[in-house]
Copies of this chain bind each other. A is one copy, B any other.
């Protein structure tokens, strides 16, 4: 993993901004049953790298340069994508789904608050993502762009997107035999929210159609590379670094990229997809694509 000296301070600072925005994401003066609020915030404030919201900000900054008002404009979408990501983890962990007891080293939501409250906390966070996104208008995003982004969130997180990928994964658990099937699951389960992050940042910065397209392609390829890397880490990773049981996929006989095409070919694909992602943004006439290029390397070079 080769990254410049600028990347880590950038990620650190953006993440701090995201954490601050997430703390204010659910208005403190709203009347919400205390247990429900607690369950929602338990998962929302469980840490994590906040990659998706950082990608929203980095995408906006790649288009329009680095300015505080650009971060303000993009932040509602950054919060929205993390709310959606958080809900998806809560519902994925449910007994009827993956039945996981731990997530990021802590008991999963339903282990702490019970299944019913975990379902409702997930429903509430998903719904709230659209409230968060709607705030973009107050932050200066033109209303037509905000509606477009909210529609894209619904599509990419919804039936033809992340939810569809999750259903395919579940339905196919016994029967995945081709790389095409697996790629399709990875694209929807993982890439779609990453694609959304790039599109949302681009629209917040009022990018041109061709810039939106280039950033979307970047998201698709980095997202897929990221998920293949996740498959690789599940075979080779170190348990402490990952904070979950290594080889859990293999134990449950889940089909992964290394299982279907081997470790080396999987690594080659990660590299190729990352290069294609970087080429897409390098030639899109962006104000400053440097951080995006480095984030691409960072995401697929991570060991945790």
Instruction: Let me know if B159 and A37 touch, CB within 8 A.
Output: yes
Instruction: Let me know if B123 and A96 touch, CB within 8 A.
Output: no
Q: Cα distance A142–B119 when bound, in Å?
A: 34
Report chain B residues within 8 Å CB of A130: 130, 150-151, 153-154
Q: Decide if A40 is an interface residue (CB 8 Å cutoff).
A: yes
Report chain B residues within 8 Å CB of A33: 164, 167-168, 171
A26-B159 contact, Cβ under 8 Å, with A117-B167, A167-B35, A167-B36: yes
Q: Decide if A65 is an interface residue (CB 8 Å cutoff).
A: no
Instruction: Let me know if B147 and A134 touch, CB within 8 A.
Output: yes
Q: Cα distance A124–B32 when bound, in Å?
A: 24
Instruction: Let me know if B158 and A127 touch, CB within 8 A.
Output: yes
Chain B min CB distance to A203 (Å): 12
Q: Chain A: interface secondary structure?
A: helix
Q: For A119, A142, A166, which residue has the most chain B Cβ atoms within 10 angstroms? A: A119
Q: Decide if A170 is an interface residue (CB 8 Å cutoff).
A: yes
Instruction: Let me know if B116 and A158 touch, CB within 8 A.
Output: no
Instruction: Let me know if A170 and B127 touch, CB within 8 A.
Output: no
Give how many A residues have a beta carbon under 8 Å from the other chain's beta carbons: 55
The complex is assembled from copies of this chain, and their number is 2
Report chain B residues within 8 Å CB of A120: 91, 163, 166-167, 170
Instruction: Let me know if B97 and A159 touch, CB within 8 A.
Output: no
Report chain B residues within 8 Å CB of A119: 91, 94, 96-97, 119
Report chain B residues within 8 Å CB of A183: none
- Chain A residues 185 to 229 lying within 8 A of chain B, measured CB to CB, are none
Q: Decide if A79 is an interface residue (CB 8 Å cutoff).
A: no
- Would you list the 8 A-B pairs with minimal beta carbon distance, nearest first? A134-B151, A131-B154, A127-B158, A96-B115, A143-B143, A130-B154, A36-B167, A124-B159
Residues of A within 8 A of B (CB): 26, 30-33, 35-37, 40, 87, 91, 94, 96-97, 114-117, 119-120, 122-131, 134-135, 137, 142-144, 146-148, 150-151, 153-155, 157-160, 163-164, 166-168, 170-171
**30 chain-A/chain-B pairs, Cβ below 8 angstroms:** A26-B159, A30-B159, A31-B160, A33-B171, A36-B159, A40-B159, A87-B123, A91-B123, A96-B114, A96-B115, A97-B119, A116-B170, A117-B167, A120-B167, A120-B170, A124-B163, A124-B167, A127-B157, A127-B159, A129-B154, A130-B150, A130-B151, A134-B151, A134-B154, A135-B151, A137-B147, A142-B143, A143-B144, A147-B150, A150-B150
**Inter-chain pairs besides A31-B160, A130-B151, A131-B155, 20 sampled, C-beta below 8 Å:** A26-B159, A31-B164, A32-B164, A33-B167, A36-B164, A91-B119, A91-B120, A96-B116, A97-B116, A123-B123, A123-B126, A126-B126, A127-B154, A127-B158, A130-B130, A134-B148, A134-B150, A137-B147, A143-B146, A147-B147
